[in-house]
A and B are shown apart, each in its own frame.
Chain A
Amino acid sequence: MPRIAQMVRWLVGRRIRTLRQAARAGAHARARQRVLALAAAVLILAGCGGGATGGGGEGASTPPAQGGAGGPVTITIGINADPPNLDPAMSSALVDRYVQNSIFDKLYDLDENLQVVPELAESLPEVSEDGTVYTIKLRQGITFHDGTPFNADAVVFNLQRYLNPDSARYSELSAVDRVEKVDDYTVRIVLKQPYSPLLYTLTDRAGMMGSPKAIQEAGDQFGQNPVGTGPFKFENRIKGDQIVLVKNPDYWREGLPKADRIVWKVVTDDNIKVVNLKAGQLDIIDTVPAQSIADLRSVPNLKVEIGPGLGFQGIYLNTEKEPFNNPYLRRAVDLAIDRSTLVQVVFQETAEPGYGPFPPSSPAAAASGEPPQRDLDQVKALLAQGGHPEGFQFTLKTATGPVTQQVAQVIKDMLADAGIQMEIQQVEFGSLLDDTDNGNFQAAALGWSGRPDPDGNIYPWLYTGGSQNDSRYSNPGVDRLLDEARRVLDMNQRVELYRQVMKQVHQDAPYIYLYYPKNVKAYSAQIQGFVNYPDGIIRTENLTKVR
C-alpha cells in the first residue's frame, strides 16, 4: 500500500512541477492533465487488485467472416444462462448439458427421433431375460483428452462415482445394484429389479464418461476443467460470460468435428441475444422469444427452426393447503383454463396446448390426453360441489419474466369469468424453488425441461414423496401403476399404464398441465450441419461455417 501512495504522490507531484514550469501553458492542457492524473492514479490503484489475467482469448468478437476460405472456424452459440457445473456427477441444469455434450461422449446417444443409438458403446446392450442384467460392449482405441485410455475400468469408475449418494445422478441410478467389469471392453450393470428407463438414463449425464485420471486429480473441482472423450476439449472459461472449447484432433469419429472452436456465450436477455445474432456476433441462439420469430424470419441470412420439445409447463396446486386441499376446487381451476387460447395469445407456434406430462414427441404422448373443452357450467357445478358456489380466491406464485407474466395474466382473466379470483405474485426464481420445496404456496407456476424416457416426466412428479412432487400428491393406486411401468420393458404396455395414471390424475388435478414448449433455435445461414433435436441440446460435431 505505501508503495501505491508513493506512486500517486509522485504522479501528482510531477503534475504540479510541470504545471509550475509551464506557468504560461494553455489552460486546456492543464485541465486535461489533471483529468489524466486522476485517471492514471485510479488505474494504478485498481490495478493493484491482483494480477488480472483476462482469460478468454478472442471470444465472441470474431468479426463477421469476409469471404475467402482458410483460417480456423469459430462457432459462437448464445445460451440463456451460465452453466452452473460442468461435472456430470454434480450437474443439475439443462444448460450444463448443452456444453457437456461437446466435451463428453456418452455410452448411448439419442437421434433426432429420440431413438437410442450407441455412442461409446459398440452396440445396444444385451439384456437378460428377467431385465436385470445389462451387458455393454465398448468401442476400442478411444482415449480421453488427457491421453488416458477409455476402457471398462473407466466406465466402472464413472458409474460408481455416479452411484455415490452425494452425486446428482444417484436417484437416476437408484435401480442399479452394482457395476462390474467383464473384460477390458465389456461392462455389466446389474439391477435390483427391472428398470425400463435405464437405457435412456445412459444417454444423459449418467452415461457421460470423464477421464478417471483427471477426476482423481481434481476431485470435486472436476467441473472447472472437465476432461472427456468428446469432439471438443475444454479450453477456458470466464464464469458467467463464456466457455471456450477447441477441436479434439484425436476424435474417434472420422472427419469430425468440423469446426475448430466452439464458444458458448452467456446472454441472459432475449432481445440482446436476437440483436447479437443479427449483427453476426452470435452464430446460433438457443431460445427465441415468440415475438421475435417473424422479425428473424424476415432477415434473409438467418434461419429459424421450430421443433418439438420434451418438457411441459404448468401449475402446482398445493394439495395440503387451503384452498387446494379441496379436489373440487383444483378441478374447477383445471377446467376453467382454455389452453388453446392461452397458447395462441402468448406463444403462437412456439408451444402446443397440453394436458399431461408427455409432449407429442414422447413415445407416451397418447397417455397425456386431449386438452378439455372449457366448460364454465361444469366449473360452476364443481365450485358448488366444493362448497364455494360464488367462487374463491388464491395466490399464484410465478417467476419473474415477461412470458411467465403474460401466461399468468391470461389465466387470471379466464378464471375471473368463473368467479375465481387469482392474485399474481412474482417471486425471484431462487425463492420460488425454496417456496415450492417447503410447501409455502397455494399455487406455483413451474415446469420441466423433460426427459426422453416417459418415466422421467411423470414418476418424480406424481409418485408419493417424489423429488418433483411439490403438489404433495399421494395416491397409492397411482404409485402402484408408476412402479409397474418401471418394471415393464415393452413401451406399449407402459403407455397403457400411464394412460390409467393420467385418468386418475385428471380427476385429482394436483398439477395443472398447460402447454408443451417447443424448441426454437435461430442461426446464421452460414452455419451448416445444424439439427434441431427434441432434447434441445445442440450437437456441435457436425457444425461448420461456410464463408
Chain B
Amino acid sequence: MLQFVARRLLLSLPVLILVTLLVFVLIHVVPGNPGRAILGPEASPEAVAAFNRAHGLDRPLHVQYLTWLAGVLRGDLGRSLVDGTPVTTLIAQRLPATVELAVGAMLVATLVAIPAGILAATRQGTAVDHTGTVLALAGLSMPQFWLGLLLIIFFAVRMNWLPASGYVPITVDPVQNLKTMLLPIVVTGLRESAVLMRMMRSSLLEVLRLDFVRTARAKGLGGWGVIVRHAARNALVPVLTVSGLQLAGLLGGLVITEQIFVIPGFGRLIVDSIYSRDLITLKGAVLVAATLVVLVNLVVDILYAWLDPRIKVTGGSR
C-alpha cells in the first residue's frame, strides 16, 4: 500500500512539471507586458523597463523558467512580482477558505445527491423521479452569480439573517465563519449535487439489474436492505470518481463564488495573478492546484479498493 502511494506520488512529478511548463508557455503567449500590467497605465516607460530588468523578465524564457524550477525544487516558490510577498505566504493565506468551501460544498452535495439519487432510482419513471430530474437540471442551468446574488439580497439585505460577505478563518471565530460560509457552501453544493444525483441514479439502476441483487432478493432480503447494503455500495464507485473530480475542480478555486461572496480564495488568487501578469505567483498557484488534484485522485483510488474489493490497489505489475 505504502509502496503504491509512493510510486503514485513519484509518477506525478513529471506531470506536475509538465503542467508548470504548459502554464509558463501559455502565459507568455498571452499578449501583455508584466511590468506594464503591474505598474499600471500611469507608469512611465522607463519605470516599466526598469521593473522588467530588475525582475529578470528581459532574460530568455528558458532561463526564466529554469531559474524558477530550481527554486521550486529547493522548496522556494519565489516572490510575487507585484510587491515581493513570498508566494507561499499568498497561497497559505488563500487556500484555507477554498478548502473549506470545496469540502463543505462536496459534503452538502453528497448529503443531497446520494439519498436523492437512490430515491429516484428506486422510483424510476414516477413523479418523484421526474421531479428530481427537473430540479437537477434547474440546479445545473442556474447561473451561480445570479443565484448567489438573489440569496444575498434575500438573506442579508432583506432579512439580515446572514452577512452578505466577508470571511473569518475558522480558527478565529467558528460561529462567524459558519455564518459567512453558509451561503457560498450551499450555492456551490446544490450545483454540484445535481451532477452527483444523476450519476447515483443511473449507476444504481445499473447495479440493481445485476445478478447478485437478484440472488440477494431470492435469499429473502427486503427491498431497502438490498439496495442499501449491497447495491448502493457498488453503485458508489462511479459516483466517487465523479465526486473526486468535482472536489479537485473546486480546490482549483471557485472564482465566481469567491467574487460574489468576497472570499479570499485560491481561485481569485489565480485569476488576479493572470490579470496582473504576476507570473511567479501564477506558476506557484497552478503548481499547488495541480498537486492537490493529484492527491485527491490518489485518495479516490485508495477508497475504490475499500468500496469494491474486486478493485485491487497494487504496485502495478504483479
Contacts and interface: CB of A to CB of B under 8 A. Distances in A.
B160 A64 contact: yes
Given A52-B96, A58-B168, A435 B160 contact: no
Interface in B260-316: 260, 262-264, 268-269, 272, 275-277, 288, 292, 295-296, 299, 302-303, 306-307
B182 interface: no
Interface string A428-463: 111101110100000000101100000000001000
B69 interface: no
22 contacts: A12-B302, A27-B228, A28-B228, A30-B228, A38-B299, A39-B106, A43-B103, A59-B166, A59-B167, A85-B82, A87-B83, A168-B44, A241-B268, A269-B260, A271-B149, A278-B157, A279-B156, A428-B275, A433-B36, A433-B40, A437-B36, A448-B42
A241 B83 contact: no
Interface string A162-188: 000111101100000000000000000
A267 B262 contact: yes
Interface in B166-181: 166-169, 171-173, 176, 179-180
B40 A93 contact: yes
A458 to B, nearest CB: 14
How large, as a class, is the contact surface on chain A?
Answer: 35 or more
A168 B163 contact: no
B32 interface: yes
A120 to B, nearest CB: 24
Given A87-B83, A224-B84, A271-B149, A46 B164 contact: no
Interface of A: 1-2, 5-6, 8-9, 12, 15-16, 27-28, 30-31, 34-35, 37-39, 41-43, 45-47, 49-61, 63-64, 82, 84-87, 90, 92-94, 165-168, 170-171, 220-221, 223-224, 238-242, 265-269, 271-272, 275-276, 278-281, 428-431, 433-435, 437, 446, 448-449, 460, 467-468
Contacts, number: 254
Interface stretch (B17-25, B87-95, B202-210): B87-95
Given A46-B99, A84-B82, A279-B164, A429 B275 contact: yes
Contact of A275 (B9, B43, B149, B251): B149
B299 A42 contact: yes
A35 B251 CA distance: 17
Contact of B276 (A37, A60, A430, A437): A430
Contacts of A49: 91-92, 95, 99, 288, 292
The 4 closest A-B pairs by CB, nearest first: A54-B169, A241-B264, A27-B228, A279-B164
A55 B160 CA distance: 27
Contacts of B251: 46
A334 B5 CA distance: 68
A160 B247 CA distance: 52
B32 A84 contact: no
B1 A239 contact: no
Interface residues of B, number: 93
A430 B36 contact: yes
B269 A240 contact: yes
A35 B306 contact: no
A242 B264 contact: yes
Contacts of B9: 1
A61 B163 contact: yes
Contacts of A94: 42
A59 B292 contact: no
Contacts of A268: 259
B84 A1 contact: no
B215 interface: no
A269 B259 contact: yes
B32 to A, nearest CB: 4
Given A41-B299, A54-B169, 20 more contacts: A5-B5, A9-B1, A38-B243, A42-B247, A46-B292, A52-B93, A57-B172, A58-B176, A84-B39, A85-B83, A223-B84, A239-B269, A240-B268, A241-B262, A267-B165, A267-B262, A268-B259, A272-B260, A275-B152, A430-B36
Contacts of B106: 39
Nearest to A38: B303
A451 to B, nearest CB: 9
Given A281-B166, A431-B32, A272 B259 contact: yes
B63 interface: no
Contacts of B296: 42, 45
B140 interface: no
Interface string B55-76: 0000000000000000000000
B164 A467 contact: no
Contacts of B173: 58
Interface string B228-249: 1100100010001001000100
Nearest to A82: B272
A149 to B, nearest CB: 27
